[in-house]
């Protein structure tokens, strides 16, 4: 009998490792899972309410309604803003496809705007142009522009002052996509408190992660959060009586138990991510590989550490040979993906978005990486021939 060789040697550093995150706090996580199992209560209830209260307190002066996953969180947040079929919702093309599928599932019309080339987040000027275009265009005659969904991509805040000001001036609600930004802030104010309402995901690789699916909606308006709470459970306000039409999208009790353990460690883990980012920054300072830009006032929580080079595919292959896993978030802008190409509205050319997709590469940055591993990754990037100045194919 032949055994398949193991797919990874012990030297391999994966790009992400939910397993390492589990092992790091195994005893506490298992105790929480057991406590939830033995409670005998398996849908919503105490465990979920306690997590919602703890998470809301962590974010700030908000209420919270947990749901089944991050995509549902965005959808229900939009519905709580009265977004319905045919309404226009502005967002970016450089994001997880989930941002757009949430809009799509309502039957609303996503309009994709370009990103800022430095921060990879929504460009407020591109948003202003898009809002004006939708107003003018006969294609959108009769459609109501309802909301904007800025994404705090990679853990870096979008330009919220400008976006919120512009959106509110134009009569639009702001739904923050905070799926990659738990604990991040801008000008000392937590992400998730800038817009009218905000959505988080607890997908296993996120900064705050479940051992499965999970999500939450937070916001300052208790009435909107109550609507989410009704929608997530068949539209019930009272048991068995649907006041509105709803769904089934509930945070699992076992996941809530795990999330309570991990929420208490979120700040320490984000601090570790920031320390790793700083080591990468120092190691790459004199190379031709571009480091992430941090805009003024941004407390970056480094969901991803994304470097940029015209030789991206080459760097990726080089790191593979050095046993360093990398990923591209994301390789294809949404407006160019088979499901959406030619059938989704884009405002202008999205040139920054398309260029970014060709040049970006996410290095490993989870908190369980050891200093030795971080050193090895940084050294491997430095050793790539394209890292020497001037870069292979670099801009003049």
Unique residue bearing structure tokens 């995509």: 71
Between 242 and 281, how does the x/- string for binding to ligand PLP read (CB under 6 A)? Answer: ----------------------------------------
Residue 287 binding ligand PLP, by CB under 6 A:
no
Q: Which is nearer to ligand PLP, 99 or 362 (CB)?
A: 99
> Among residues 47, 123, 177, 359, which is the contact residue for ligand PLP, using CB under 6 A?
177
| Distance set, CA 334 to CA 100, 121, 303 (Å) | 8, 14, 20
Strand pairing partners for 361? 307
Both tokens of 247, joined, read 């769904």
Residue 151 binding ligand PLP, by CB under 6 A:
yes
> Among residues 58, 203, 280, 305, which is the contact residue for ligand PLP, using CB under 6 A?
203
Both tokens of 212, joined, read 């499965």
Q: Which is nearer to ligand PLP, 32 or 67 (CB)?
A: 67
CB of 372 to ligand PLP, least distance (A): 29
* Contact of 353 with 115, CB cutoff 8 Å: yes
Residues 75-114 that bind ligand PLP (CB under 6 A): 95-96, 98-99
Scanning 50-58, 63-71, 183-191, 216-224 for contacts with ligand PLP by CB under 6 A, the matching segment is 63-71
Using CB under 6 A, count the residues that bind ligand PLP: 15
| Distance set, CA 285 to CA 280, 293, 304, 382 (Å) | 8, 12, 18, 10
Q: Measured between alpha carbons, how far is 242 from 219 in angstroms, rounded to an integer?
A: 23
Q: Which is nearer to ligand PLP, 208 or 307 (CB)?
A: 208
Asked if residue 104 has a cis previous peptide bond (ω within 30° of 0), the answer is no
| Distance set, CA 386 to CA 289, 291, 331, 396 (Å) | 8, 14, 20, 15
Q: Looking at beta carbons, which residue is closest to ligand PLP?
A: 70
Both tokens of 180, joined, read 């990659």
Residue 210 binding ligand PLP, by CB under 6 A:
no
Q: Which residues bind ligand PLP (CB under 6 A)?
A: 69-71, 95-96, 98-99, 151, 177, 179-180, 201, 203, 213, 215
């Amino acid at each position: 009998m032949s055994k398949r060789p193991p797919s990874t040697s012990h030297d391999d550093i994966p790009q992400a490792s939910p397993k390492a995150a589990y092992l790091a706090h195994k005893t506490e996580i298992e105790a929480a899972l057991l406590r939830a199992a033995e409670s005998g209560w398996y849908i919503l209830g105490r465990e979920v309410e306690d997590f919602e209260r703890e998470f809301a307190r962590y974010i700030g002066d908000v209420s919270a309604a947990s749901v089944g996953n991050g995509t549902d969180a965005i959808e229900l947040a939009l519905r709580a803003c009265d977004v319905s079929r045919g309404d226009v919702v502005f967002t970016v093309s450089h994001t997880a496809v989930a941002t757009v599928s949430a809009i799509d599932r309502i039957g609303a019309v996503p309009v994709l705007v370009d990103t800022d080339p430095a921060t990879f987040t929504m460009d407020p000027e591109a948003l202003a142009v898009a809002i004006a275009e939708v107003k003018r265009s006969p294609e959108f005659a009769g459609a109501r522009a309802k909301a904007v969904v800025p994404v705090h991509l990679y853990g870096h805040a979008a330009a919220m002052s400008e976006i919120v000001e512009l959106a509110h001036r134009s009569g639009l609600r702001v739904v923050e996509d905070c799926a990659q930004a738990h604990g991040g802030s801008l000008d000392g104010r937590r992400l998730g408190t800038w817009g009218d309402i905000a959505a988080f995901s607890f997908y296993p690789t996120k900064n705050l992660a479940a051992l499965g699916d999970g999500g939450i909606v937070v916001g300052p308006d208790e009435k909107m959060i109550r609507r989410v709470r009704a929608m997530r459970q068949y539209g019930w306000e009272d048991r068995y009586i649907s006041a509105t039409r709803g769904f089934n999208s509930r945070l699992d009790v076992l996941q809530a138990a795990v999330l309570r353990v991990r929420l208490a460690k979120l700040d320490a883990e984000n601090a570790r991510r920031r320390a790793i980012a700083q080591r990468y920054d120092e190691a790459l300072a004199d190379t031709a590989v571009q480091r992430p830009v941090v805009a003024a006032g941004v407390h970056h929580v480094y969901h991803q550490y994304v470097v940029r080079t015209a030789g991206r595919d080459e760097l990726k292959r080089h790191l593979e040979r050095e046993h360093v896993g990398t990923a591209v978030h994301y390789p294809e802008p949404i407006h160019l993906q088979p499901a959406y190409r030619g059938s989704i509205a884009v405002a202008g050319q999205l040139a920054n978005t398309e260029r970014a997709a060709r040049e970006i590469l996410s290095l490993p940055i989870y908190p369980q990486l050891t200093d030795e591993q971080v050193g090895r990754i940084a050294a491997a990037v430095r050793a790539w021939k394209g890292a020497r100045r001037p870069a292979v194919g670099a801009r003049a």
